[in-house]
Amino acid sequence: MAEDLTSETFLIAWRRLDDLPDPPLPWLLGVTRNLLRKQRARRLRTEELVARLAQLTTFVEGDVAEKVANRQHALAALTGLKGQDVEVLILTSWCGMTSAEAAEVAGCSARTYEVRLHRARQRLRKALQSTPPFTLQEQT
């Protein structure tokens, strides 16, 4: 890092050779200080970005095949539901809308939407119980 900093300092000095003061050392130290400050700020921004990304990312341990099987099971249960039930479940679960927001999209009151959501969840629960889970078969 020190070698990079030194070479960048002297590169700046070379480019501004005509502007160098008579004793160049204070000016060179000032350029070096500014480069260090910029480098530190860049490092802090990078660390902050990594921390923010880590908060957004959720890593869930487990077998990927099991997650695929669970997803297939859920999709099979969803295909057996009415379109209105699927829409209600998607607006709330996948889109993350509140009841008021989803009700506006669905064209009904928030209370009516909550009743539809409750009934759709009951139907989905029943469909998940009646649909056999997707299993991965080992090939021999």
Percent of the chain exceeding pLDDT 70 equals 84
**What's residue 139's pLDDT?**
43
CB 45 within 8 A of CB 23: no
Task: Provide the 3-class DSSP secondary structure of residue 81.
Answer: coil
Question: Is the pLDDT reported for residue 90 higher than 80?
Answer: yes
Would the pTM count as exceeding 0.95? no
Give, to the nearest 10 degrees, the angle between helix 110-130 and helix 99-106: 90
Tell me, what's the pLDDT at 13? 93
The pLDDT value recorded for residue 138 is: 44
d(CA 13, CA 64): 56
CATH number of 64-130: 1.10.10.10
State percent of the chain over pLDDT 90.
31
> 25 vs 95, which has greater pLDDT?
25
The structural domains of the chain, with segments of one domain joined by +, span 2-56, 64-130
